[in-house]
Amino acid sequence: MNLTGFVASLIADDGTAGWPSRVPARLDAVLDSMPLPARAGVRSAARALDAYAVVRTGRGLAALTTGERESVLASLAARPALLPLLDVLKVPVLLAAGTEHMLQRPRRAPRPVRTDPPLDCTPAGEWPDRSTADAVVVGSGAGGAMAARTLARAGLDVVVLEEGRHHSTASFAGRAPLERFAELYRDGGATVALGRPPLLLPVGRAVGGTTVVNSGTCYRTPDHVVERWTKDFGFVLAERLGPYLDETERTLNVATQPLDVLGRNGRIALAGAEHLGWRAAPLRRNAPGCLGSCQCVVGCPTGAKQSVQLSVLPDACAAGARIVTGARVRRVLVDPDRPGGPAAAGVRVRREGGGEFEILAPLVVVAGALQSPPLLRRSGLGGHPRLGRNLSVHPATSVAGRFDEPVTAWEGVLQSVGVEEHHDGGVLIEATATPPGMGSFVLPGLGGELRRELEDADRLATLGAMIADRPSGRVLGRERTLLRYDLDRRDGDRLMRAVRAMGEILFAAGAREVLTGIPTAPRARDLGELDAVLAAAGPRKLHLSAYHPTGTVAAGSDPERSPADAGGRLRGVTGVLVADASVLPGCPEVNPQLSIMAAALAVTEAYLER
């Protein structure tokens, strides 16, 4: 359907500026990248809104004047029950509108682009129908890359299989952020965990996995988390994580982010925390020489962020590993008649353009994160009752503060400052800003109000908070990953405390109002008003997202509790290792890239030692 009237209504296109007229075409491209249910949902809602306009006025949205569209939207907004649904509809529109509004601004001079180190990548269409290897690694993200490097350096013939494609730094630098967004995320960034409430859970799909599109923040696994994994779950490899974390930090060139490119968003967070006497500091990141492009979530356009396709996989390829792109693993092949029980025999793989091939290998490393439980089920290896359970996702929310002076939050480091004052209580606050429309924060209002918010977005500073959650989710499905997650009551309380704490920081830094993210009460002008808003709302009224899924093929000593044993070996079969985020037995409580890579290093080195 034609989206012109729908978009014109939501962002009040009155014809006085050129950029709004380009949003419908951009929105079409965004929707085309999303899975069919999401795409159909947005288009159906647009048709319903158009039909509502016809009932009220006798004409569709495209035929109405700006004032008439405002009247139609006002009648909908007067119904509080509809506001959360309208906020969901705004998400793809803000993606498109934010991009077009950004493109009209004066552009920065081109930044220097580093030359990527070489990778041995072969498209699946060019791979032979039958081949052999010593080890196959399924997935090229944080865990898969580290496993591939470790095995290749030990002299094994390693093949890495990646469903996505390889993207160069030069390709990032040459295109607008949104043009990269759909290609770099599974389902165009519209992966959703269904539940109460539903959570948007964006996951990367490319050579390098989610490390290509994460923030670059590198926390070490907290000591109390390592102790819990060891004592409560029997994940004995966690005791060895210290040296492996050191090695991972060296590989990624992790260092504290210098102040000179922090950006005003980060400096505001530091100022607010300092005024309150709270613990806060620039984050440690894997981005030496960061130029503050604020595009980490759509691929660093300068090559500063050392995602694994720039740091770990080149070393793996130098040691002989090969990467096959556009390759979806259909199943792990198993020989049921081996002495000692069933054993891995290789993988069967579907090519992106059609057709299949097989790689025969005695070792298969599963490193596909959310894709790992469905793969194991398709392979006849999903019999453990806890497989796919125990899902933690770091539920997250964000708020914004409006300042009198421009902040221009998208100039500087995307995720710049960590506020750890409430971390002991399970709340980690980070100053996070993204290219316009690409963050988890949804601007308030409809029509003219939303248009004004878009055009005044340079005066907003944004903070995000994620919660150390109880594992309340499941990965279901065989052919396609299906996610179910119900927010635990304790974690809901933590989210509300997080919103209050972020409001305190912003007001302490001089914000004249805080945008709460609550559709029915989107603004607070002081802490007292914010407290009243939060007292009348609940966590399910917040606009929530989630990150860092872990735990669904958890390792541990108890065979009834853990699908993988204490060394990360899948139970019930020989020759299958788990080396991604799913092997972590519980919530890591911090951005987990270092934890995942150190765990993968521990699992593969333990295998080699045997």
- The active-site residue, picked from 166, 384, 422, 548, is 548
In terms of residues, how long is the chain? Answer: 610
Q: Which residue has the tokens 């990778």?
A: 119
* Cα dist from 131 to 135, 278, 283, whole Å: 12, 57, 44
Describe the crossing of helices 36-57 and 23-32 by its angle, rounded to 10 degrees. 140
Distance, CA of 469 to CA of 495 (rounded, Å): 10
CA atoms within 13 A on the CB side of 472: 23
The three-state secondary structure class of 572 is coil
Report the candidate in 190, 93, 433 with the shortest Cα–Cα distance to residue 296: 433
* Cα dist from 380 to 18, 311, 375, 384, whole Å: 56, 35, 9, 11
Q: Do residues 145 and 313 touch, judged by C-beta distance below 8 A?
A: yes
* Cα dist from 541 to 34, 84, 468, 536, whole Å: 25, 8, 19, 10
Q: Do residues 364 and 332 touch, judged by C-beta distance below 8 A?
A: yes
Instruction: Take residue 60 and report the two structure tokens written for it.
Output: 């569709």
Report the candidate in 353, 352, 341, 403 with the shortest Cα–Cα distance to residue 573: 341
Neighbours of 48 (CB within 10 A): 10
CA atoms within 13 A on the CB side of 548: 27
Quote the longest CA-to-CA distance of the chain. 77
Handedness of CA 535, 540, 546, 549 (dihedral sign): positive
Distance, CA of 70 to CA of 86 (rounded, Å): 14
Report the candidate in 574, 572, 569 with the shortest Cα–Cα distance to residue 604: 569
**548 is annotated as an active-site residue:** yes
Q: Which residue has the tokens 């006085």?
A: 16
Please give the span between the terminal C-alpha atoms of the chain, in angstroms, as a whole number.
60
CB contact set of 218 (below 8 Å; sequence gap of 6+): 249, 252, 254, 283, 284, 285, 286, 591, 593, 594
The DSSP-derived string for 409-453 is TTSS-SEEEEE-TTGGGTEEEEEE--STT-SS-----STHHHHHH
Distance, CA of 449 to CA of 457 (rounded, Å): 12
Distance, CA of 553 to CA of 542 (rounded, Å): 30
Active site residues: 548
